[in-house]
């Protein structure tokens, strides 16, 4: 198979998975994990001993899917952007389930060469089934 064929195939494969949820991941918001996270980002706000800081949910479950399949395209990954929507506080001890899917796949050819864009969406719910947050992220393969 030619490289071009492979790239067309991988885009078609990823497109075929748009909207299909990946396996849900459930995790407890652990005080120790949040502590390591806020130490890593250097945010000493005491609020984070009770509650998860704004970007913490990315640490409880993978925020992307099918990445290995896309690696035939280009040589490296870049993060294009993230959007968090907050619906309810995420507290230490909450049990959060993350459900993610691919929302869009497209490629672009520009001055810096060809790039493949994969948009992922993840919805997070708590132990009462309440939605707490949504995350949208764009990963770029180039």
Partner 1 sequence: MSAPAIGQELPELVKNPTTRQLVQYAGAQGDFYEIHYDQAYARSVGLPGVILHGLLKAAFLGQLVTDWLGGRGELVDFEVSYRGVDEPGRPYRCRGRVSNVDGNDVELEVWGEDESGKRTTVGTARVRLS
Residue among 44 and 129 whose Cβ is closer to partner 1: 44
Nearest Cα residue to 121 out of 141, 105, 109, 142: 105
Residue among 42 and 110 whose Cβ is closer to partner 1: 42
SS3 content of the chain, % helix, strand, coil (to 5): 25, 40, 35
Sign of CA dihedral 140, 64, 68, 34: positive
Burial label for 27, CB within 10 Å (0-12, 13-18, 19+), is middle
Write out the binding residues for partner 1, residues 51-90 only, by CB under 8 A.
Answer: 53-55, 58-59, 62, 75-86, 89
The interface region with partner 1, picked from 18-26, 43-51, 93-101, 124-132 by CB under 8 A, is: 43-51
Site string for partner 1, 83-122 (x = CB under 8 A): xxxx--x---------------------------------
Binding site for partner 1 (CB under 8 A): 33, 36-37, 39-43, 45, 47, 53-55, 58-59, 62, 75-86, 89
């Amino acid at each position: 198979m030619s490289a071009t064929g492979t790239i067309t195939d991988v885009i078609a494969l990823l497109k075929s998975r748009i909207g299909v949820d990946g396996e849900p991941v459930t995790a407890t918001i652990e005080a120790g994990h949040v502590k390591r996270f806020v130490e890593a980002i250097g945010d000493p706000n005491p609020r984070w001993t009770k509650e998860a800081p704004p970007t913490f949910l990315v640490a409880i479950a993978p925020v992307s899917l099918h990445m290995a399949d896309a690696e035939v395209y280009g040589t490296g990954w870049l993060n294009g952007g993230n959007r968090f929507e907050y619906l309810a506080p995420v507290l230490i001890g909450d049990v959060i389930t993350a459900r993610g899917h691919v929302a869009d796949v497209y490629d672009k050819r520009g001055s810096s060469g060809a790039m493949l864009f994969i948009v992922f969406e993840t919805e997070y719910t708590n132990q009462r089934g309440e939605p707490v947050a949504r995350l949208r992220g764009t990963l770029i393969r180039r």
